[in-house]
Amino acid sequence: MGGLRLSRLFFNRRIWLTAFALLLPLPAFLVSMNIGTYPVSGPELAEIIFSRLMGHDLRLPQVYDTVVFNIRLPRILLAMLVGAALSISGATLQGIFRNPLVSPFILGLSSGAAFGAALAMSVFPWMPLQMGAFSFSLLAVGSAYLMARRKGEVPVISLVLAGVVVSSVFGALLAIIQFAVDARSLQSIVYWNMGTLSTASWSKVDLAAPWVLVGCLILIALRWRLNVLALGEEEARSVGMNLELYKFVFIVTATLVASAVVSVAGIIGLVGLIVPHMVRMVFGPDHRILIPLSLTVGASFLVLVDDVARAAFSFEVPVGIITTLLGAPVFIYLLRATRAGGWE
Partner 1 sequence: MKAAEGIRVDEVSMAYGSSKILDGVSLSIGKGSVITMVGPNGCGKTTLLKIINNLLKPDRGRVFVEGREVNSMPAHRLARIMGYVPQGHKISFPFKVRDVVITGRMPYIPAFSSPKREDLEKTEQALVLTGISGLADQSYTQISGGERQLVMIARAMAQQPSVLLLDEPTSYLDFKNQILTLKMIKEISRSRKVTVIMTLHDPNHALMFSDEVVLLRKLNGSRAGNVIAFGPPHEAITPKNIQAAYGVEVEIAEVKGRKLLLPL
List interacting residues with partner 1 (CB under 8 A): 95, 98-100, 221-225, 227-228, 230-232, 234-242, 280, 284-286, 288, 342, 344
Q: Give which of 175, 160, 286, 305 is closest to 231, Cα–Cα.
A: 286
31-69 burial, b at 16+ Cβ within 10 Å, e below that, comes to ebbbbeeeebeeebbebbeebeeeeeeeeeeeebeebbe
Look at the chain and count its residues.
Answer: 344
| For partner 1, the closer CB: 18 or 201 | 18
Q: How far is the CB of 20 from partner 1 (least distance, A)?
A: 22
| For partner 1, the closer CB: 287 or 310 | 287
Q: How far is the CB of 170 from partner 1 (least distance, A)?
A: 28
| For partner 1, the closer CB: 12 or 242 | 242
| For partner 1, the closer CB: 56 or 288 | 288
Q: How far is the CB of 10 from partner 1 (least distance, A)?
A: 21
C-alpha–C-alpha distance, residues 203 and 36, integer Å: 22
Q: How far is the CB of 282 from partner 1 (least distance, A)?
A: 13
332: amino acid identity, one letter: I
Give, in order, the Cα–Cα distances in Å from 108 to each of 85, 207, 218, 267, 270.
17, 22, 22, 12, 14
| For partner 1, the closer CB: 180 or 231 | 231
Rg (CA), the chain: 21
How would you class 147 by CB atoms within 10 Å of its CB: exposed for 0-12, middle for 13-18, buried for 19 or more? middle
Q: How far is the CB of 125 from partner 1 (least distance, A)?
A: 44
C-alpha–C-alpha distance, residues 119 and 133, integer Å: 9
| For partner 1, the closer CB: 124 or 224 | 224
| For partner 1, the closer CB: 197 or 230 | 230
Q: Give which of 96, 90, 123, 126 is closest to 272, Cα–Cα.
A: 90
Q: Give which of 281, 331, 337, 339 is closest to 102, Cα–Cα.
A: 331
3 state DSSP class of 283: helix
Q: How far is the CB of 165 from partner 1 (least distance, A)?
A: 24
